[in-house]
Chain A
């Protein structure tokens, strides 16, 4: 009979072998660190989506397109400003500047978009907001394709010149990790973990220590009450939509250096689908849920990638299938997500 995982049929000795290979410290360290690195990236691309949904109830289908725009803008700045002689410190410093610039630019663009396009259709069913943002995503993708190809760069696959601006100590195996665990893990994952942690803390502080964070948390719980208390919800919507867009773009800047992604117009849909998975598993609108779900998805990704890379499973689509299966299973077992509120998102 036909079995999609024909090659995956596991016999007993092979299972034992797999287990023994899995429980070696270096393997575990690799899976965990790569997984957390991926989780950090997933968190960065998903957190903006969940904030926007939590407050506004809008599932932003242009999220991936904003990440793509961020990746390209970041790439342009990096490629133009850097020469091949630039040192690692310059590259990292410029990267931080780029993150700030892209965040500011796209936050402004996102706010403008919310005022001009999204605001007129709040009173319609959620479907139209999905459709509108999806259309905006399509337009951005095509514009990127036109601009990129008119500069003589291939829109797909990735723009390697931008990817190559990563300093050598991040693209190669990390010395720190090698001395700690004795395994060769790409330094980028450590960089992603650190950056992701900083960003998560920043978003957490924004949510818990600022006025607008308070509005977002309150608005996610009970938007009508927030409005009744005299808070200008429209302004809060604009700001949050802008921030969500800016965070998506920051995610894009990180993807620019990520060896498995890189700037390409395909980011539009790929980022969107992955961000959906993380957000839905964690619970739409939940910060904690997004964090936990990102870790689950990231570790599942790195574990299945390991299974495939070591040849234990010969099915090349394993990581992707696993990630989308996680989405389906999460929706079956716990439709509202790990930390979601039951009513949010129903119709």
Chain B
């Protein structure tokens, strides 16, 4: 139980490596800590507010990887959840129907109706990454980028057009991973160009000018017949997009619902991985990489300046930072990641259309999930996006949605029960079937009114710090 006084600085070094950099009050105070250790049972709330690091007790002599994993417990849990989710869904929806005398119970269909299907989970990944990139600029520097869809669209169009050989210099057959980077770089440069004029403005005017730029690009793409034979519909991609290491076939996996790679009996374990699952994991890995990259940036000194700009731009300038270039760089990076999201969207779908990539509503989706998840928290948008896609799945009119489930499971007498000329079936058809946007709008308004910090932001307020920092301490408490 004893804390060696030298342990703390070591721990700090390690935690710096994990990118949290948030060593506000971490500079030791072993005396306080040991004092607190002695009265741990009496004052637990005190403990959570004072403990900076997860109890350093048995960490003495522990390998740095153990410490690292411990600091990343929250990440590990979240990544574990998403990694195991497909298996969970397969197991739960596979539960056979049971005949219990008077009626049949079908838990499988129930879970099918309420758990988001894999196709929705994949959509969650692009939307999540796109929303994170939106949050990166809007949540951390406070500049609402209402034209963010432009960067998403650039990423999507570059990969599709490159696959079709429509981009000069880029030969047909360039690996998807390279065209993805190309798209991201193009978006980065476009963002710098847009930012150069837009960052002279602030507040509502910044939102408006970025929206204006995005709409100009949208209209151009929608009417320019070079990009596709029918520009309103957008181009389709020839061939499948492969995520992995370029030019190494065994380490590249094609994504797409139909065109993706599927594996049977992996490693002789009797597990089959469908094309959808391959896409899910491949895209998930890219999203994970992007998340850590963005997290690293935000926790670096550069990220601190971004937050300073949000909190008080005048002061940041007065301190001597060239805020213009910080904002430009943040905007460019944000566009870079937005384009990666767009590229994966197009790679998975095998096509891109102006309305699903460049249009203002695409930005609006990112905005909604960012608010629901928590603006100014990097992982928040991913959870918001999970919520968004769950709702989409539950209210979807296809198999696996709530409406078909209710129509199949409820007894006929109940469905056709007539109240003032309206049957229950009519109610399902009009207010459940495919009505996700309505409930999303309502949830969104409720969040704006009552939970302005979003899901993750509220959890943080509750815990008194970031989840990654607080979770180990909380778990520690329950272990004792």
- Cβ contact within 8 Å between B222 and A317: yes
Of all chain B residues, the one with the shortest Cβ separation from A315 is B223
Which of B201, B209, B360, B367 contacts A273 (CB under 8 A)? B360
- Cβ contact within 8 Å between B371 and A131: yes
Question: A331 vs B201: C-alpha distance in the bound complex, in angstroms?
Answer: 8
Query: Which A residues are CB-close (under 8 A) to B263?
Result: none
- Cβ contact within 8 Å between A150 and B204: no
- Cβ contact within 8 Å between B220 and A134: no
- Cβ contact within 8 Å between B213 and A328: yes
Query: Which B residues are CB-close (under 8 A) to A134?
Result: 364, 367
A 134-155 contacts with B by CB, 8 A = 134-136, 138-139, 141-143, 146, 150
Which of A121, A139, A284, A346 contacts B449 (CB under 8 A)? A121
Query: Which A residues are CB-close (under 8 A) to B204?
Result: 59, 126, 130, 284, 345-347
- Cβ contact within 8 Å between A117 and B449: yes
Task: Decide: A146 near B438, CB < 8 A? Known: A126-B203, A284-B204.
Answer: yes
- Cβ contact within 8 Å between A324 and B452: no
Query: Which A residues are CB-close (under 8 A) to B226?
Result: 2, 4, 6
B130 at interface (Cβ–Cβ under 8 A)?
A: no
Of all chain A residues, the one with the shortest Cβ separation from B444 is A135
Question: A120 vs B201: C-alpha distance in the bound complex, in angstroms?
Answer: 28
Write out, one digit per residue, whether chain B residues 81-109 have a CB within 8 A of any chain A CB (1) or not (0). Answer: 00000000000000000000000000000
How close is A338's CB to chain B, nearest CB, in angstroms? 14
- Cβ contact within 8 Å between A331 and B212: yes
Query: Which A residues are CB-close (under 8 A) to B216?
Result: 321, 324-325, 328
Question: A316 vs B437: C-alpha distance in the bound complex, in angstroms?
Answer: 31
The binding surface of chain B is classed by DSSP as helix
Task: Decide: A316 near B223, CB < 8 A? Known: A126-B204, A150-B430.
Answer: yes
Query: Which B residues are CB-close (under 8 A) to A128?
Result: 448, 452
Chain A interface size, under 10 / 10 to 19 / 20 to 34 / 35 or more: 35 or more
B205 at interface (Cβ–Cβ under 8 A)?
A: yes
B 211-233 contacts with A by CB, 8 A = 211-213, 215-216, 219-220, 222-224, 226
Of all chain A residues, the one with the shortest Cβ separation from B200 is A335
Task: Decide: A146 near B430, CB < 8 A? Known: A276-B211, A328-B209, A331-B208.
Answer: yes
How close is B288's CB to chain A, nearest CB, in angstroms? 29
Chain B interface size, under 10 / 10 to 19 / 20 to 34 / 35 or more: 35 or more
Query: Which A residues are CB-close (under 8 A) to B442?
Result: 135, 139
B 337-375 contacts with A by CB, 8 A = 360-361, 364, 367-368, 371
Query: Which B residues are CB-close (under 8 A) to A276?
Result: 208, 211
A80 at interface (Cβ–Cβ under 8 A)?
A: no
Question: A277 vs B208: C-alpha distance in the bound complex, in angstroms?
Answer: 9
A127 at interface (Cβ–Cβ under 8 A)?
A: yes
- Cβ contact within 8 Å between A120 and B449: yes
The binding surface of chain A is classed by DSSP as helix
Which of A6, A143, A317, A345 contacts B220 (CB under 8 A)? A317
How close is A205's CB to chain B, nearest CB, in angstroms? 29
- Cβ contact within 8 Å between B205 and A142: no
Question: A142 vs B435: C-alpha distance in the bound complex, in angstroms?
Answer: 8
- Cβ contact within 8 Å between A124 and B431: no
A320 at interface (Cβ–Cβ under 8 A)?
A: yes
B197 at interface (Cβ–Cβ under 8 A)?
A: yes
B441 at interface (Cβ–Cβ under 8 A)?
A: yes
Of all chain B residues, the one with the shortest Cβ separation from A276 is B208
Question: A117 vs B431: C-alpha distance in the bound complex, in angstroms?
Answer: 23
Write out, one digit per residue, whether chain A residues 328-347 have a CB within 8 A of any chain B CB (1) or not (0). Answer: 10011001000000000111
Task: Decide: A332 near B197, CB < 8 A? Known: A135-B444, A139-B438, A324-B216.
Answer: yes
Which of B168, B212, B224, B445 contacts A327 (CB under 8 A)? B212
How close is A312's CB to chain B, nearest CB, in angstroms? 16
B207 at interface (Cβ–Cβ under 8 A)?
A: yes
Query: Which B residues are CB-close (under 8 A) to A316?
Result: 223
Using a CB–CB distance below 8 Å, which chain B residues touch chain A? 142, 144, 168, 197-198, 200-205, 207-209, 211-213, 215-216, 219-220, 222-224, 226, 360-361, 364, 367-368, 371, 430-431, 435, 437-438, 440-442, 444-445, 448-449, 452
User: Which 8 pairs of residues, A with B, have the shortest CB-CB distance?
Assistant: A317-B223, A347-B203, A138-B441, A142-B438, A135-B445, A139-B441, A327-B212, A345-B204
Using a CB–CB distance below 8 Å, which chain A residues touch chain B? 1-2, 4, 6, 59, 117, 120-121, 124, 126-128, 130-132, 134-136, 138-139, 141-143, 146, 150, 269, 273, 276-277, 280, 284, 315-318, 320-321, 324-325, 327-328, 331-332, 335, 345-347
Known: A317-B223, A332-B200. 17 other contacts (CB 8 A): A2-B168, A4-B224, A126-B203, A128-B448, A130-B204, A132-B448, A138-B440, A141-B437, A276-B208, A315-B224, A318-B223, A325-B216, A328-B197, A331-B197, A346-B203, A346-B205, A347-B204
Cross-chain pairs A/B with CB under 8 angstroms, 14 sampled = A1-B168, A4-B220, A127-B144, A130-B204, A131-B448, A141-B441, A273-B211, A317-B219, A320-B219, A321-B216, A324-B219, A328-B197, A346-B201, A346-B202
